[in-house]
Structure 1
Amino acid sequence: MEFGDSEEALKALDKCLSHIKWRLRPSAKRRLEIDIQSLCTGLRPVVMVDYGGKMPELGKHLCTLLHFARKETTIFLQLRVMVIEDMIYIIHVEGLAEHISLSLNLQPQIFFVDLEQDPPKMILHSEQNTATSELVAIQKQFALLLPSNEGNTGSSLPNTAMTAPNVEASDCNPHGCTLAGEGSGFESSEPIDMSNIVKDTQITLPTINGWLLGYPVVYLFTKDRVADAVFNLSTKSLHIYKILIRRQEATGRKSSEEELMSFTVPYELSQRADKEPWAEAFLTHILAKLESCRQIWMHLRMEVSECYPQAIAL
């Protein structure tokens, strides 16, 4: 993705937001821009959207936005809205397929914080227990539904009838050709509903989110131990890890540092902060991705701060 493509995507995004009359607060719009660019440049395979409203209106807005954005530029072709229960995400289809493939091959290695134990204990993804085995099974189900670079074209994606964008006659292609983003499969405007994959499992959504969002350390607990997990985490000091990034801007425009992602780890399991081996490996992994899109991003760094015990919802 070149700088010009990035500017084109932002202009298309702004135009489509106006077209569908979705009025976002400046901070939410900035967050959406960062999320879209991080997906399109390959820095992230999935982002969780917890700004700009609530379900189902938020889902309708996102689906309609991407529907029209695909008509403006092919940059948005790989982006889809995905839902799992009451959570909503934007995914890069090929990026997520690659993320799943790497995860199944334990690349990079994920560390889990077992919140069912007090004090919490850190374990490797490769260590076998019921929860980690169930996560692997979920990853394999995701893999079956998404196209990959290994010849799998993906099964029929489980769409949900959350929304059908209102398309006016003026939006149709007068030449009878399929417009960017229209058609079947992963180019559909309907959201991908993955709720059934996790419906009958014991693994929790916070664990699935941690993996989907690409965190190096993921909280692990089952549905019947939520109360224990909340207590064990709420009574511990935490380290907050933030990946901060700065975009390249057009000449004369001021560039500000933005948060790409953030996650927490119990203080006792991360006393070396950004010097923890897994933290250094994660930063190296992200910086390697950055090299392929230096035209878009000019700077990336990790920031670690401490958070004292407080009530936490999982």
Structure 2
Amino acid sequence: MEVPSSEELLQFLSSCLSQIKWRLKSNSKRRLEIDVLALCTGMRPVVMIDYGGKMPELQNRLLSLLELIREGLPVFKDLKVMVIEDMIYLINVRSLPKFVSSSLDSEPELFFIDLEQDPPKMVTQSKESNLGMQLRSIQKLFSSTFPLDDSNTDTTTVLDEANSSQTSLCIDLSCCLQDTKVTIPTLNGWLLDYPVVYLFGTDHIEEAIYNLSTKSLRLFKVLVCRNGTTEKDSHLEELTSAI
């Protein structure tokens, strides 16, 4: 079967958005288009959806959208929704296991900014701090949930219970942060493949905020340009950004 072009994918996505009557602002719609293309092309295994509404309405809209696009085009069949506490993500269940496996193999090695120190200090995951070990355990939970080998379906009991009532299109991994001091920003830094991850525990949030607010920060962006566009329509678009 011929793989649809990016323009065909976006036209179909726009049609499905209209069918479910999800009226996104132009900036939010463009972000969704870029995120979906990044997932389908394997550029990113996970994207965070922090636009288009609030939970739980946002989750319901994403699930409705996935039901339509997965039925319409095979290229969307690997996309699912993932929820962690009040954060929601779109994931590619085919590329995410490879990403998690490479993380456990420390390829590449994660670099952290320890925000519990003033001034913040660069550290590596090889320095097995308590937080680093807890993040490692979360990565192992992801590995058991998204195994490289599809025949390996072992998951923790708590995860089975959490997902027992979930639709097959939605995976709730809120349990991954239970009994840890790992914060959402630290988890997102790894999960969204940022070059540097903010490291601080739930008992040091105030110190982390202070240490960030009193330092000069730079915003780094990854910009991409889609192939196949005319020179007139060609322009750089933001794939991801980090501070």
TM normalised by structure 2 equals: 0.91
Unpaired segments ≥5 residues, structure 2: none
Q: How far did residue 8 of structure 1 move? A: 3.1
Is 2:228 aligned against 1:224?
no
Q: How far did residue 253 of structure 1 move? A: 5.8
Is 2:238 aligned against 1:254?
no
Letter in 2 for 1:83: V
Paired residue secondary structure (2:241): strand
Unpaired segments ≥5 residues, structure 1: 165-187, 265-314
Map of 2:93 onto structure 1 = 93
Letter in 2 for 1:99: F
Letter in 2 for 1:44: R
Paired residue secondary structure (2:91): strand
Q: How far did residue 133 of structure 1 move? A: 0.6
Q: Do the aligned partners of residues 194 and 26 (structure 1) sit closer, same or farther apart at CA in structure 2, a change above 3 Å counting?
A: same
Map of 2:78 onto structure 1 = 78
1:239 & 1:139 partners in 2: Cα distance?
Answer: 28
2:153 & 2:5 partners in 1: Cα distance?
Answer: 27
Is 2:215 aligned against 1:236?
yes
Is 2:160 aligned against 1:196?
no
Q: How far did residue 9 of structure 1 move? A: 2.1
Letter in 1 for 2:181: Q
Cα deviation digits, residues 221-260 of structure 1 (max 9, x gap): 0000100111011100012111011112445761221111
RMSD, aligned CA = 2.2
2:42 & 2:179 partners in 1: Cα distance?
Answer: 32
2:8 & 2:240 partners in 1: Cα distance?
Answer: 24
Q: Do the aligned partners of residues 159 and 10 (structure 1) sit closer, same or farther apart at CA in structure 2, a change above 3 Å counting?
A: farther
Map of 1:18 onto structure 2 = 18
Count residues in correspondence: 239
Trace 1:45-124 onto structure 2 (pairs within 5 A).
Answer: 45-124=45-124
Cα deviation digits, residues 235-293 of structure 1 (max 9, x gap): 000121110111124457612211111111xxxxxxxxxxxxxxxxxxxxxxxxxxxxx
TM normalised by structure 1 equals: 0.71
Cα deviation digits, residues 31-72 of structure 1 (max 9, x gap): 001000111111111100011111111111011101110011
Map of 2:163 onto structure 1 = 159
Task: Answer yes or no: is the 8 Å Cα contact 1:147–1:153 preserved in 2.
Answer: yes
1:217 & 1:118 partners in 2: Cα distance?
Answer: 17
Paired residue secondary structure (1:239): coil
Q: How far did residue 150 of structure 1 move? A: 7.9
1:211 & 1:30 partners in 2: Cα distance?
Answer: 24
Paired residue secondary structure (1:21): coil
Letter in 2 for 1:78: D
Q: How far did residue 152 of structure 1 move? A: 3.0
Q: Do the aligned partners of residues 251 and 245 (structure 1) sit closer, same or farther apart at CA in structure 2, a change above 3 Å counting?
A: closer
Trace 1:120-135 onto structure 2 (pairs within 5 A).
Answer: 120-135=120-135
Task: Answer yes or no: is the 8 Å Cα contact 1:93–1:147 preserved in 2.
Answer: no
Letter in 1 for 2:100: I
Letter in 2 for 1:232: N
2:3 & 2:43 partners in 1: Cα distance?
Answer: 15
Q: Do the aligned partners of residues 107 and 151 (structure 1) sit closer, same or farther apart at CA in structure 2, a change above 3 Å counting?
A: farther
Q: Which has the larger radius of gyration?
A: 1
Paired residue secondary structure (2:225): strand
Task: Answer yes or no: is the 8 Å Cα contact 1:203–1:222 preserved in 2.
Answer: yes
Stretch of structure 1 that moved more, 238-247 or 151-160: 151-160
1:56 & 1:85 partners in 2: Cα distance?
Answer: 11
Higher relative contact order (CA 8 A, sep 6+): 1
Trace 1:273-284 onto structure 2 (pairs within 5 A).
Answer: none
